[in-house]
Amino acid sequence: MARSAILNVMVQAAMKAGRSLARDFGEVQNLQVSLKGPGDYVSQADRKAEEIIYTELSRARPGYSFLMEERGAVEGEDDQHRWIVDPLDGTTNFLHGLPIFSISIALERQGQLVAGVIYNPAMDELYTAERGGGAFLNDRRLRVAARSKLSDAVIGTGIPHLGRGHHGNYLVELRNVMGETAGVRRLGSAALDLAYVAAGRMDGFWEEPLSPWDVAAGILMIREAGGFVSDKQGGNNMLENGTIVAGNELIHRALLKTLKKPVTSR
Ligand code: 2AM
Ligand code: CA
Ligand code: CA
Ligand code: CA
């Protein structure tokens, strides 16, 4: 598999930040942690990883704009290109010693997602995708799962956090999905969830509210693996409205339908 120069830049940045996260994961008890809002933690590990990615990407492509979780928006001279970065997706898992977390880096060109990298340093799994070039886990080409029935499907989700989202609505959705599928999983890193859908490890996924850095790389990953991604209305505004539904064509359609239902009888 030949990676383009730009994808290599992204991979190098993700791997370097991944080494920093892996070191910090070995001694989480020593990390300084602060609260950004209710249930919303950030640590030195997040900031260090973000700094590494920012430095690497700025050096390789001076002037590109950024949208990063901790640093926010950074306008570069080049407003045609924008990096969308989550330096540590799954901070809560990370701080609890759960090895389910990832780094997510996406590149937009003229508002279109053109490259994405999701890296889980704990398992040394590197997911990459380029527009028109397919999606890969390490060197293996990815394809979404082929299951066609919701009743055979394992569906990932994220539970809305303390102080965010509509918990009542979510419970209705969860109850309906529980009643129609083979199982529901909640892993705690949306970027990794989306990578797992691309890899066919989960048949589908839905969550809200999410931020652009949680989903940008994952959206491209799933599409390049032959899958379907939309917002909850079936549109393409995932980065703007923070809702996401994904799967293969049939599971995506069935999941959208199930999420619209009122409470079912059982
Ligand atoms: P984070 O770890 O980068 O913050 C899990 O459901 C997803 O929600 C993860 O992508 C996680 O990203 C995000 N998340 C975790 N806590 C959150 C909070 N309090 N507010 C918003 N998003 C959160
Ligand atoms: Ca966070
Ligand atoms: Ca995140
Ligand atoms: Ca994060």
Distance between Cα 80 and ligand 4 center (Å): 24
- Whether 158 shows a pLDDT value over 60: the answer reads yes
Distance between Cα 238 and ligand 4 center (Å): 17
> Can you list the domains of the chain with their CATH numbers?
5-141 (3.30.540.10), 150-260 (3.40.190.80)
Closest ligand 1 atom to Cα of 159: 6
Which of 136-150, 151-165, 201-215 has the lowest average pLDDT?
Answer: 151-165
Q: pLDDT tens-digit profile of 190-217?
A: 999 999 999 999 999 999 999 999 999 9
Residue among 74, 247, 25, 13 at smallest CA distance from 152: 247
pLDDT score recorded for residue 264: 67
Distance between Cα 5 and ligand 1 center (Å): 31
- Whether 265 shows a pLDDT value over 60: the answer reads no
Q: pLDDT tens-digit profile of 107-126?
A: 999 999 999 999 999 999 99
- Whether 1 shows a pLDDT value over 80: the answer reads no
Nearest CA to ligand 1 atom 18: 40
Inter-CA distances, 199 with 25, 232, 266, Å: 25, 22, 32
Higher pLDDT, residue 165 or 84: 84
pLDDT score recorded for residue 266: 58
Distance, in Å, from the CA atom of 192 to the CA atom of 125, rounded to the nearest integer, reads 10
Residues having CB closer than 6 A to ligand 1 are 39-40, 69, 86, 88-92, 158, 161, 164, 188-190, 207, 214
